[in-house]
Amino acid sequence: MTAVYERMVDVFEKYPEIFGHYKIELLRGDIVMMAGPDRVHNINVLLIERQIPLDRWYPLQTQDIALPGEESEPQPDLVVIEQGAFEGPGRLVDGPAAALLVEVVSKNSGHYDYEIKRRIYAAGRVPAYLIVDPFAAQCVLLTEPVGAGDEADYSVQRTTKFGDPVPLDMLGVTLDTSALLTLPGKPR
């Protein structure tokens, strides 16, 4: 983590009334700041979160993660960790401790979600990454990370249209996508 990023986090935490509607992430050494998500985005995250069984899993929103070997501290839209897999306080959860990371594509996040974060999460050995795209009305489940750095990727990709079930074998559930909301246009 860079000293500049750490100072920015300190300022954001000190003045939530000013910065509370922004999301900042450290992605491969770059500080990325975006406006807060829209209603469709938040509803889709909520609909997914409610399908995660709480008897075994913690579905966490606005949780920063740390990835070994990466100069990145992303904040996925949903981090699913098994109860007991990561203990203690703090802003950062180890990425490999997560069973699943979920990103819902927003107007300005398409490039980050499909390309930058895909490689970062694979390099950080996150076992499963789900991209929920309301513009394309599809879910892309990525599993089995391979490689390192900019060459890292997932060796298995499964694309499912909204309305069709998405098996999340790592959680022991099947995601119902029939109620997920869509958006017009294309993300950037």
- Taking only the tens place, the pLDDT of each residue in 57-99 is 999 998 999 988 888 889 999 999 999 888 877 788 888 899 9
- Tell me the CATH architecture of domain 37-175: Alpha-Beta Complex (3.90)
Report angle CA 4, 7, 13 to the nearest 5 degrees. Answer: 140
Instruction: Please report the DSSP string for 126-157 in residue order.
Output: -SEEEEEETTTTEEEEEEEEES-GGG-EEEEE
- Ranges of each domain in the chain: 37-175
Give the containing element (helix H, strand E) for 99: strand 98-104
Residue pLDDT tens, the chain, 188 long: 455 556 655 655 665 555 555 666 667 677 676 666 789 999 999 999 999 999 999 999 989 999 888 888 899 999 999 998 888 777 888 888 999 999 999 988 899 999 999 999 999 999 999 999 999 999 999 999 999 999 999 999 999 999 999 999 999 999 999 999 999 988 77
User: How much is the pTM?
Assistant: 0.86
